[in-house]
Structure 1
Amino acid sequence: MEHYDVAVVGLGVLGSGAAYYAAQKGAKVIGFEQFELGHVRGASHDTSRIVRTSNFAPEYVALAKSAYKDWAELEKVTGYKMLTTTGGVVFFTPESPTPASDFTKSLDAQNVPYETLDSQEVKKRWPQFNIPDNVTTVFTADSAIAHAAKTVSTLQSLARSHGAVLKDNTPVTRVTPQASGGIVIDTPNGRFHASKVVLSTDAWINKLLAPLNVHIPVSVMQEQVTYFKPTDASAFDTSKLPVWIWQGAHCFYGFPTYGEPTIKAGRDYSNNFMSPDERTFVHSPQLLDQLTSFMNEFMPDKERQALRTITCQYTITPDRHFIISPLDSHPDIIIGLGAAHAFKFAPAFGRVLAELAVDGKTNEDISKWGIPKAATLNSKLLIAII
């Protein structure tokens, strides 16, 4: 078996980032992807993702601040424009499960500037929005858009430029800790040995954890976003409209035009549960109708047309918190789960995984993102549940 310092299993945006930063540190790195690189079966494909510091908890704001530095470093290293700054607004209705004060307190705690706007000020700045008077709006000028697929391919290219070996269409069937140290990785194309293994396998995480008597309770659902053609695309340019999030009884989010004369919107966390093996890739007409109705009220445009709807996969952890941690029982195996809201943090998230794998520590505060206590099970309990 060929030996590597770090093996990364799952090469979405988080795993690709881990492979790059580990290789950049001088580690001998191998990465495995069960499908083709850049595939559409997970949550790292398509075009745009919102990047923002605004968040409900200060630890996420802190990591976002670090991520902005990493995004800037990627721009410097590659010469590419990784982020398009638009500013961002988060609308809080009385039905929001998260009050605006949670966001502002977290931003205050991390010294991130923001503005709190009433509905009249919002309409004055962005007449495209139609919001009630009882909505509180938090604006952060640093919010931006990252191109999803291009980010992933850039991280993979950088990883390879630093010597990482990335193997696509190579599913990992088992990871086995060795008494002598390190991990043996089994694939249909051979066995490999690594000192540390990063598992960034998202919805497939428990397939590799089950033989280790570990189970992380995750929920998997198919989500969708729709691209709409506005009557006048110029009114929705990135210079005229920020990225936005609607925090009501349901959460919706959207983008200005980006790379094409369309606007993109979707609902977050729609509870359309499934497993990766059951996924149809067929969007829900009911969710599209719900989104269209919301958009007709929120951003009126009589001639707007829905052009296409794209599906993606959400993998939700308990309380939707990140998991960035070695396994207690097998510390050479490091888990990275982004809970379907990690893309904005991607370079920092990948860097932290690499630091844990190569250095054994990180300076980022990840103290609240450990393995849930209920995730570690003894073999009798595991059999009883199955």
Structure 2
Amino acid sequence: MDQYDVAVIGLGVLGSAAAYYSALKSKKVIAFEQFELGHVHGSSHDTSRIVRTSNPIPEYVRLAKSAYKDWAELEKAAGQKLLTITGGVVFLPKDENSQFRDLAQTLDAENVPYELLNADEANKRWPQFNLPNNVETVYTPDTGIAHASKTVATMQFLARSKGAVIHENTRVDNVTPKSPGQGVAIETTRTGFGSDSLKRTFQASKVILTTDAWTNKLLAPLGVHIPLSIMQEQVTYFKPTDKKQDWFNPDKFPVWIWAGDKSFYGFPTYGEPTIKAGRDTSNNFMTPEQRTYVQSPELLEQLSSFMARTFPDEGRQKLRTVTCQYTITPDRQFIISPLKDHPDVILGLGAAHAFKFAPAFGRVLAELAIDGETAEDISKFGIPKVATSESKL
């Protein structure tokens, strides 16, 4: 069997980051992706993701600060720009439940610069807004946009440049740990070649699982099950009317999040004359096998009505809607942890909000695999207590 120091399974943004940072530590790395690189079956494709420190949970703020440093080093290594800083706002409707209710207090405690604006102040600064009086706005100048597909491809390129071996169209069928410290066997099947599939087994000292919605398939033989909620989400690209096109440029219109009973988010124009917006966690539950890739007209109408109220622009056109897949952990917490009974297997799950942390997330996974520890505070990101762990029968 081929022997490696680290094997990474799943090459979305988190797995691609883990492969790069493992290879950067001069280790022999192999990585597997069951689909073609850059595929649309997960949650790392398309154009843009929000980067921000504006989070009501201190552990995420601290990890985001580390991630900004890693983003800068990643851009330097790649020789290209991956982030565009635009500033960003979080809208807090006072009469709705919001997980961001403690945002200002957390930003104060973590020394993150911000401004707190009432509706009149926000509407005056950004005439694109039409905020009602019951909405407060938190503005953070460090918020911006990460180019999603370019970031993933960049990490894969850099991983290969450091010696990592990457196999696309290669499904991992089984991960079999030996005794702790004795490594893990990885059984694979090469796909995409008709009936000429090729089965191989590889050996690695450590395995990093960044397999998102497919995680429990590989954990089941190990007696572990993570309660995961999987849903199909969607974002829509709108073209502003010609007379308001300039209003939505990145230097005039911030990244935004509506943190109410229903959460929405969106971007200024980025790479094309469109603005992108979507709803977060619409609870359109499914499995990867059940996914239709077909947009929901109800969700599109809900989003369009919200946009018309909040960012009025009569005549704005809906150009296209793109679907993606969310994999949500209990309480939507990250998991960055070795398995308790199989410490040579390290699990990374981002709960559909990890892209902004990706370089730090991948670096931490690599540190756990190679060094056995990390200086980052990941105490909040263990295996959830509701996960089951039983002996294999």
TM-score tier, shorter chain, comes to over 0.9
1:206 aligns with 2:216: yes
| Counterpart among 290, 294, 299 of residue 287 in structure 1 | 299
* Aligned residue number for residue 357 of structure 2: 345
The aligned runs of 1:295-374 (5 Å cut-off) are 295-374=307-386
Structure 2: which amino acid aligns with 1:256?
P
- Could you report, residue by residue, the CA deviation over 1:319-364 in whole angstroms, capped at 9, with x for unpaired residues? 0000000000000000000000000101000100000011100000
1:186 aligns with 2:192: no
Shift of 1:77: 1.4
Shift of 1:101: 4.6
- Could you report, residue by residue, the CA deviation over 1:109-153 in whole angstroms, capped at 9, with x for unpaired residues? 221111111111111111001101111111000001011000000
Q: Distance in 1 between matches of 2:218 and 2:332?
A: 21
Structure 2: which amino acid aligns with 1:72?
A
Tell me if structure 2 keeps the 8 A contact 1:92–1:99. Answer: no
Shift of 1:317: 0.1
Shift of 1:376: 2.8
Q: Distance in 1 between matches of 2:134 and 2:173?
A: 53
1:229 aligns with 2:239: yes
Q: Distance in 2 between matches of 1:101 and 1:268?
A: 17
Tell me if structure 1 keeps the 8 A contact 2:92–2:101. Answer: no
Q: Distance in 2 between matches of 1:185 and 1:123?
A: 56
Q: Distance in 1 between matches of 2:257 and 2:96?
A: 11
The aligned runs of 1:152-301 (5 Å cut-off) are 152-179=152-179, 181-188=182-189, 189-231=199-241, 232-301=244-313
Tell me if structure 1 keeps the 8 A contact 2:7–2:204. Answer: yes
Shift of 1:75: 1.5
Tell me if structure 2 keeps the 8 A contact 1:326–1:333. Answer: yes
Structure 2: which amino acid aligns with 1:361?
E
* Aligned residue number for residue 110 of structure 1: 110
Shift of 1:100: 5.0
In the comparison of the two structures, how many residue pairs are matched? 381
Structure 2: which amino acid aligns with 1:254?
G
Tell me if structure 2 keeps the 8 A contact 1:13–1:152. Answer: yes
Q: Distance in 1 between matches of 2:258 and 2:161?
A: 40
Tell me if structure 2 keeps the 8 A contact 1:100–1:136. Answer: no
Tell me if structure 2 keeps the 8 A contact 1:90–1:138. Answer: yes
The aligned runs of 1:25-36 (5 Å cut-off) are 25-36=25-36
From the superposition, tell whether residues 94 and 237 of structure 1 become closer, same or farther in structure 2 (CA, over 3 Å). Answer: same
3-state SS, counterpart of residue 173 of structure 1: strand
Q: Distance in 2 between matches of 1:46 and 1:69?
A: 24
- When normalised by structure 2's length, the TM-score is 0.95
- Could you report, residue by residue, the CA deviation over 1:202-254 in whole angstroms, capped at 9, with x for unpaired residues? 00000000000000000000000000010032110000000000011200000
Shift of 1:96: 3.8
Tell me if structure 1 keeps the 8 A contact 2:6–2:22. Answer: yes
Q: Distance in 2 between matches of 1:379 and 1:228?
A: 51
Structure 1: which amino acid aligns with 2:297?
P
Tell me if structure 2 keeps the 8 A contact 1:95–1:249. Answer: no
Shift of 1:379: 4.6
Q: Distance in 2 between matches of 1:17 and 1:170?
A: 18
Tell me if structure 1 keeps the 8 A contact 2:100–2:259. Answer: no
Q: Distance in 2 between matches of 1:354 and 1:35?
A: 23
Shift of 1:97: 2.7
Tell me if structure 2 keeps the 8 A contact 1:316–1:340. Answer: yes
3-state SS, counterpart of residue 373 of structure 1: coil
Identity of aligned residues (%): 69
Structure 2 gaps, min length 5: 190-198
3-state SS, counterpart of residue 219 of structure 2: helix
The aligned runs of 1:55-94 (5 Å cut-off) are 55-94=55-94
- Could you report, residue by residue, the CA deviation over 1:243-290 in whole angstroms, capped at 9, with x for unpaired residues? 000011200000000000000000000000000001000010000000
Q: Distance in 2 between matches of 1:33 and 1:344?
A: 21
* Aligned residue number for residue 39 of structure 1: 39
- Could you report, residue by residue, the CA deviation over 1:71-126 in whole angstroms, capped at 9, with x for unpaired residues? 11111112211110100000001244336551112212221111111111111111
* Aligned residue number for residue 48 of structure 2: 48
Tell me if structure 1 keeps the 8 A contact 2:98–2:261. Answer: no
Q: Distance in 1 between matches of 2:96 and 2:215?
A: 31
Structure 2: which amino acid aligns with 1:49?
R
- When normalised by structure 1's length, the TM-score is 0.97
Q: Distance in 1 between matches of 2:335 and 2:96?
A: 25
- Could you report, residue by residue, the CA deviation over 1:30-68 in whole angstroms, capped at 9, with x for unpaired residues? 000000001000000000100000002000000000000
Tell me if structure 2 keeps the 8 A contact 1:223–1:313. Answer: yes
Tell me if structure 2 keeps the 8 A contact 1:203–1:276. Answer: yes
Q: Distance in 2 between matches of 1:68 and 1:107?
A: 16
Shift of 1:69: 0.3
